[in-house]
Protein backbone atom coordinates (compact mmCIF):
# COMPACT_ATOMS: atom_id res chain seq x y z
CA UNK A 1 0.00 0.00 0.00
CA UNK A 2 1.57 3.28 -1.06
CA UNK A 3 1.04 6.53 0.78
CA UNK A 4 -0.78 9.39 -0.86
CA UNK A 5 0.90 12.72 -1.43
CA UNK A 6 -1.16 14.23 1.40
CA UNK A 7 0.07 11.57 3.85
CA UNK A 8 3.71 12.00 2.78
CA UNK A 9 3.64 15.78 3.25
CA UNK A 10 1.50 15.90 6.41
CA UNK A 11 4.46 16.83 8.63
CA UNK A 12 5.20 19.88 6.45
CA UNK A 13 1.67 21.24 6.80
CA UNK A 14 1.78 21.32 10.60
CA UNK A 15 1.77 25.06 11.11
CA UNK A 16 1.60 25.19 14.91
CA UNK A 17 4.18 23.95 17.41
CA UNK A 18 4.27 23.82 21.20
CA UNK A 19 7.77 24.78 22.26
CA UNK A 20 9.89 26.47 24.92
CA UNK A 21 10.70 30.18 24.75
CA UNK A 22 13.69 31.14 26.91
CA UNK A 23 13.53 34.00 29.39
CA UNK A 24 15.40 34.77 32.56
CA UNK A 25 18.95 35.84 33.28
CA UNK A 26 22.32 34.50 32.33
CA UNK A 27 22.80 31.02 33.86
CA UNK A 28 19.24 31.19 35.30
CA UNK A 29 16.92 30.19 32.45
CA UNK A 30 13.16 30.21 32.78
CA UNK A 31 11.10 28.92 29.87
CA UNK A 32 7.57 29.74 28.81
CA UNK A 33 5.71 26.83 27.22
CA UNK A 34 4.22 28.59 24.21
CA UNK A 35 2.10 27.79 21.17
CA UNK A 36 3.61 29.42 18.08
CA UNK A 37 3.57 29.15 14.34
CA UNK A 38 6.28 26.73 13.28
CA UNK A 39 8.18 29.21 11.09
CA UNK A 40 8.26 32.05 13.64
CA UNK A 41 11.40 33.04 15.54
CA UNK A 42 11.70 31.93 19.16
CA UNK A 43 11.43 35.39 20.73
CA UNK A 44 8.46 36.59 18.68
CA UNK A 45 4.97 37.00 20.12
CA UNK A 46 3.30 33.57 20.59
CA UNK A 47 -0.29 32.60 19.91
CA UNK A 48 -0.69 31.58 23.56
CA UNK A 49 1.41 30.94 26.66
CA UNK A 50 0.18 27.72 28.27
CA UNK A 51 2.74 27.33 31.06
CA UNK A 52 6.20 27.92 32.49
CA UNK A 53 9.16 25.62 33.13
CA UNK A 54 11.98 26.52 35.50
CA UNK A 55 14.90 24.33 34.43
CA UNK A 56 17.04 25.19 37.47
CA UNK A 57 16.15 22.97 40.46
CA UNK A 58 14.84 24.68 43.56
CA UNK A 59 17.35 24.78 46.45
CA UNK A 60 16.83 22.13 49.12
CA UNK A 61 18.08 21.76 52.70
CA UNK A 62 21.34 19.86 53.13
CA UNK A 63 19.69 17.02 55.08
CA UNK A 64 17.14 16.39 52.29
CA UNK A 65 18.41 13.57 50.06
CA UNK A 66 15.42 13.51 47.67
CA UNK A 67 15.99 14.34 44.00
CA UNK A 68 15.91 18.05 43.09
CA UNK A 69 12.56 19.53 42.07
CA UNK A 70 12.09 21.62 38.94
CA UNK A 71 9.09 23.94 38.88
CA UNK A 72 6.54 23.38 36.09
CA UNK A 73 3.20 25.15 35.84
CA UNK A 74 0.93 24.17 32.98
CA UNK A 75 -2.64 24.79 31.85
CA UNK A 76 -3.74 21.19 31.19
CA UNK A 77 -6.95 22.14 29.37
CA UNK A 78 -5.23 24.46 26.90
CA UNK A 79 -2.40 21.99 26.31
CA UNK A 80 -4.91 19.24 25.50
CA UNK A 81 -6.85 21.65 23.30
CA UNK A 82 -3.79 22.55 21.21
CA UNK A 83 -2.72 18.92 20.92
CA UNK A 84 -6.24 18.14 19.71
CA UNK A 85 -5.95 20.91 17.13
CA UNK A 86 -2.84 19.23 15.71
CA UNK A 87 -0.09 21.27 17.35
CA UNK A 88 3.16 19.33 17.36
CA UNK A 89 5.22 19.47 20.58
CA UNK A 90 9.00 19.71 20.39
CA UNK A 91 11.09 16.92 21.92
CA UNK A 92 11.57 18.59 25.32
CA UNK A 93 7.91 19.68 25.54
CA UNK A 94 6.78 16.16 24.64
CA UNK A 95 9.00 14.84 27.43
CA UNK A 96 7.44 17.34 29.90
CA UNK A 97 3.94 16.40 28.73
CA UNK A 98 4.73 12.71 29.28
CA UNK A 99 5.90 13.51 32.83
CA UNK A 100 2.66 15.42 33.46
CA UNK A 101 0.53 12.61 32.02
CA UNK A 102 -0.85 14.60 29.08
CA UNK A 103 0.87 12.47 26.44
CA UNK A 104 0.91 8.66 26.66
CA UNK A 105 4.22 6.88 27.24
CA UNK A 106 4.04 5.26 23.79
CA UNK A 107 4.20 8.68 22.10
CA UNK A 108 6.95 8.53 19.48
CA UNK A 109 10.28 8.17 21.25
CA UNK A 110 12.82 10.86 20.54
CA UNK A 111 16.37 10.14 19.51
CA UNK A 112 18.05 12.89 21.55
CA UNK A 113 16.30 12.42 24.89
CA UNK A 114 17.23 9.12 26.47
CA UNK A 115 15.17 9.43 29.66
CA UNK A 116 12.18 7.10 29.71
CA UNK A 117 9.04 8.02 31.63
CA UNK A 118 7.65 4.77 33.16
CA UNK A 119 4.50 6.37 34.56
CA UNK A 120 3.10 9.89 34.90
CA UNK A 121 4.35 11.88 37.88
CA UNK A 122 1.09 13.80 38.32
CA UNK A 123 -1.85 11.93 39.81
CA UNK A 124 -5.29 12.22 38.26
CA UNK A 125 -6.29 15.86 37.87
CA UNK A 126 -9.62 16.57 39.51
CA UNK A 127 -11.82 19.39 38.35
CA UNK A 128 -13.63 21.26 41.09
CA UNK A 129 -16.78 23.22 40.34
CA UNK A 130 -17.01 26.39 42.38
CA UNK A 131 -20.35 27.31 43.89
CA UNK A 132 -21.77 30.49 42.38
CA UNK A 133 -21.73 33.50 44.67
CA UNK A 134 -24.00 36.54 44.43
CA UNK A 135 -21.90 39.49 43.29
CA UNK A 136 -23.56 41.98 45.69
CA UNK A 137 -24.75 41.22 49.19
CA UNK A 138 -28.29 42.45 49.91
CA UNK A 139 -28.46 45.02 52.66
CA UNK A 140 -30.90 44.55 55.49
CA UNK A 141 -31.39 48.25 56.19
CA UNK A 142 -34.95 49.56 55.83
CA UNK A 143 -34.01 52.82 54.11
CA UNK A 144 -32.53 50.93 51.13
CA UNK A 145 -35.68 48.90 50.44
**Residue 90 falls within a domain, yes or no?**
yes
Q: How many domains does the chain have?
A: 1
pTM: 0.64
Other CB atoms within 10 Å distance of the CB of residue 16: 16
Per-residue confidence (pLDDT) for residue 118, from 0 to 100: 62
- On whether residue 143 sits in a domain, the answer given is no
Residue 72 lies inside a defined structural domain of this protein: yes
Residue 87 lies in a domain: yes
Q: Is there a domain that residue 27 lies in?
A: yes
What is d(CA 136, CA 144) in angstroms, rounded to the nearest whole number? 14
Q: What is the CATH number of the domain that holds 17?
A: 3.30.1320.10
Domain membership of residue 115 (yes or no) is: no
Distances from the Cα of 85 to the Cα of 15, 25, 92, angstroms: 11, 33, 19
Structural domain of 87: 8-59+68-100
Supply angle C-alpha 57, 61, 67, rounded to 5: 45
What's residue 43's pLDDT? Answer: 74
pLDDT at 34: 94
Segments of the chain scoring below 50 in pLDDT: none
- The pLDDT score that the predictor gives to residue 72 is 86
- At 142 the pLDDT is 62
Amino acid sequence: MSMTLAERTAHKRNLVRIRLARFGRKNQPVFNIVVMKAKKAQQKLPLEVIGTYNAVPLPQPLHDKSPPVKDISLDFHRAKYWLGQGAEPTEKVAWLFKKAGILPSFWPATAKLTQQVPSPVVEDVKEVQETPVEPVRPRNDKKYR
